[in-house]
Structure 1
Amino acid sequence: MGDSALNRMTALVRQDIRLLLRDPAPLLIRTVMPLVIMGFMQPLFRAALQAGGAGTDVNGAEQGVPGMAVMFLFFMMNVVGFAMFREHGWNTWDRLRAGTARPVELLAARLVVLLAAAVLQLTVIFVAGGLLFGLRVSGSWLALVVVALPLALSVVMLGMALVVLCRTISQLSVVANILALVFAGLGGALTPQSAMPDWAVPFAPFAPSHWAMRGFNEAILHGGGVPDVLLPAGVLCLFAAGLAAVTLVFFRAEDRKLSWS
């Protein structure tokens, strides 16, 4: 990629950073609410882990912190959608298309800030989970990072795929919220995977949240290191790659998106 393309993308990234800093409330809410819920749910998570055979020394944060982090990260699909749909609502998308930036550059530049926000959200929740709720990682913190990065990319790419498949922000919001809740249930974010109902078990591997929780549990509960989380991290990379392919196949720069129903 030449210098001109890099300059164009850098300008777009700077604009997205300014917009994020101007209204950081969505990021703050998605970061604070998991911690608030964790404060109420920690005793239940502790009981569920102990009933599942995790031992008597667990305090519930081992399930609650990664579970709430994963669940609320998937709600970021709405933010991804708004970041794209607002250009149409503000009538600035055609101006961007008329500029020198290529359509792929417009997509790639938008991903940078969204991915950084997703990683920041996960980082704050895990660090605060350790400070506020006594989260103990029996394995490697680096293993958590190896899982968190492809998870964040998968969520952002899922949001981008919904952008190209939905015509209105209302459609995207409904689908995104449903998927976030379904993935939270199937992935073991709401309850330990060992306590999931029998009917849900066969469907769980089709949810990226399942592999994220599997990787986090390996590092937090089972003392796993980087080699132990390569499988879930690799599957998350496949999810991200597949969703990127869907985005590229169905993306049409000339499609008109509506920021209303």
Structure 2
Amino acid sequence: MRDGALTRITALVRQDVRLLLRDPAPLVVRTVMPLLIMGFMQPLFRAALRAGGEAADANGAEQGVPGMAVMFLFFLVNVVGFAMFREHGWNTWDRLRASTARPVELLAARVVVPLAAAVLQLAVIFGAGGALFDLRVTGSLLALVVVALPLALCVVMVGMALVALCRTISQLSVIANILALVFAGLGGALTPQSAMPDWAEPFAPAVPSYWAMRGFNEVVLRGGGVADVLLPAGVLCAFTAGLTAVTLVFFRADHRKLSWS
């Protein structure tokens, strides 16, 4: 049974990979756009970091690269939703339901490719940030990975939870875009967390992007190691667990999704 489930999930993942390779434009845009914005915003980030006392010799990439990476990663939520809704738009969802694949297998298969895309997006942005904008990571690279992996999974599960809750792709798209911008603002992706307005500080810990930025800042700015990012990584895992529970509770394979308003 386990081998059969793995075979079915693998087949679905292969189909998602083929579709992604056929049209990689969304992934490319989400990776290139934050780097383009960094080119314009780096002087502002540099001034903000130095004014806030974060780092006297900061060049701005310490805030801009992780900030833009986190902000644009949450736009992946739309892609996660589209991957599910297109099955209904193509009238192939009923075929999947009629197959031997169970609903939990259909969900598990739809997580794999977006998760890989999220990890790849983070890796390319941080790598290009070092090459193009002189990002200096003073801490452990392994610690960056410890934060990045649960962040990527958390983003994917935001998308899966919205799939379970939303009936139309328009509903999901609007909510996903609003969440991406709110998370960017409250999480400290648009401005250093030390420079956030007073009214935002009480709400900031309630969003996963805050903990992602806290973990990245610990490594990039303060030279932290794995032990220093266990709390942010653990909170991101808790967010992921909660979103997974929402998905499992509210997802119904027989619910009809609309790929239009």
Contact 2:48 2:192 in 1 (8 A): yes
> What is the aligned partner in structure 1 of residue 199 from structure 2?
199
Deviations for 1:108-134, whole angstroms, at most 9, x for unmatched residues? Answer: 011011100000000000000000000
Distance 2:49 2:117 in 1: 30
> What is the aligned partner in structure 2 of residue 166 from structure 1?
166
Contact 2:55 2:221 in 1 (8 A): no
Deviations for 1:179-233, whole angstroms, at most 9, x for unmatched residues? Answer: 0000000000000000000000000000000000000000000000000000000
Distance 1:62 1:249 in 2: 39
Which ranges in structure 1 are unaligned for 5 or more consecutive residues?
none
Deviation of 1:57 after TM superposition, in Å, equals 1.1
Aligned residues: 261
Deviation of 1:2 after TM superposition, in Å, equals 1.4
Distance 1:161 1:109 in 2: 15
Distance 2:57 2:49 in 1: 10
> What is the aligned partner in structure 1 of residue 102 from structure 2?
102
> What is the aligned partner in structure 2 of residue 181 from structure 1?
181
Deviations for 1:55-114, whole angstroms, at most 9, x for unmatched residues? Answer: 321100000000000000000100000000000000000000000100000000110111
What TM-score, normalized by structure 1, do the two folds share? 0.99
Please say if 1:229 is aligned against 2:258: no
Deviation of 1:54 after TM superposition, in Å, equals 2.0
Deviation of 1:5 after TM superposition, in Å, equals 0.9
Deviations for 1:19-44, whole angstroms, at most 9, x for unmatched residues? Answer: 00000000000000000000000000
> What is the aligned partner in structure 2 of residue 147 from structure 1?
147
Structure 1 counterpart of 2:224, one-letter code: G
The secondary structure found in structure 2 opposite 1:201 is coil
Distance 2:164 2:207 in 1: 20
> What is the aligned partner in structure 1 of residue 128 from structure 2?
128
> What is the aligned partner in structure 2 of residue 68 from structure 1?
68
The secondary structure found in structure 1 opposite 2:81 is helix
What TM-score, normalized by structure 2, do the two folds share? 0.99
Structure 2 counterpart of 1:237, one-letter code: C
Distance 1:128 1:145 in 2: 16
Contact 2:139 2:223 in 1 (8 A): yes
> What is the aligned partner in structure 2 of residue 7 from structure 1?
7
Structure 2 counterpart of 1:234, one-letter code: G
Structure 1 counterpart of 2:95, one-letter code: R
Q: CA RMSD in A?
A: 0.6
Distance 1:23 1:250 in 2: 30
> What is the aligned partner in structure 1 of residue 57 from structure 2?
57
Distance 2:83 2:22 in 1: 13
> What is the aligned partner in structure 1 of residue 256 from structure 2?
256
Structure 1 counterpart of 2:25, one-letter code: A
Structure 1 counterpart of 2:188, one-letter code: G
Distance 1:73 1:102 in 2: 29
Please say if 1:35 is aligned against 2:35: yes
The secondary structure found in structure 1 opposite 2:135 is coil
User: Which contiguous aligned blocks of 4+ residues in structure 1 show a shift greater than 2 angstroms?
Assistant: none
